[in-house]
Amino acid sequence: MTDQEDPPIDENHLIAERRAKLAKLRERGNPFPNDFRRNALAGHLLTAYGQKSTESLEAEAIAVSVAGRLRAKRVMGKASFAKIEDSSGAIQLFLQQQALGPSYDEFKTWDIGDVIGAEGTLFRTKTGELSVRAVQIRLLTKSLRPLPDKWHGIADTELRYRRRYVDLIMNE
């Protein structure tokens, strides 16, 4: 191995880090809250509001509450984007430190695979993607095991059958 290559990722080390994060959540109280209620699914939002213009979305100020598995996150200082996926599809969240306060700093520590909930209003980004401008976010369930590589998934057919739950998370 040359010093240009990344060292292999030790899955046990990642699981240990996530268990430590879960222990911190337990110290603060209930790590698995059951009081968050979503009022919309990502796929339904995209179908109902996907064709609306930026101006009409801003005029209507449609408040939504969505929840799903965190599939991607891009942290850029005081603002971030996250992609969550539920049973109907995926939607993007726009998160700002100014709007979220301390929960924004918590968001930065969350891992891909965690289940989160967000409340906010629908809007269209500069690139034209329908998104939720979050005013509140919560961690609903901590993922202890990392998801397989996004691009390769589970290549071994036998492993796909033995770990069907992972296959269902990764593939439509």
Across-strand partners of 63?
121
Q: What is the mean pLDDT of residues 38-57?
A: 89
> Rounded to the nearest 5 degrees, what angle is found at the Cα of 70, between the Cα atoms of 68 and 50?
60
Could you tell me the domains of the chain? 33-141 (2.40.50.140), 144-172 (no CATH)
Is the pLDDT assigned to residue 172 strictly greater than 60?
Answer: yes
Give the separation between CA 137 and CA 106, rounded to whole angstroms: 9
Q: What is the mean pLDDT of residues 65-79?
A: 91
pLDDT range class, residue 153, cuts 50, 70, 90? low
pLDDT, position 1: 40
pTM for the complete prediction?
A: 0.77
Phi-psi region of 32 (alpha: psi -120 to 50; beta: other; left: phi over 0): beta
Is the pLDDT assigned to residue 152 strictly greater than 60?
Answer: no
Q: Which of 2-16, 21-35, 124-138 has the lowest mean pLDDT?
A: 2-16
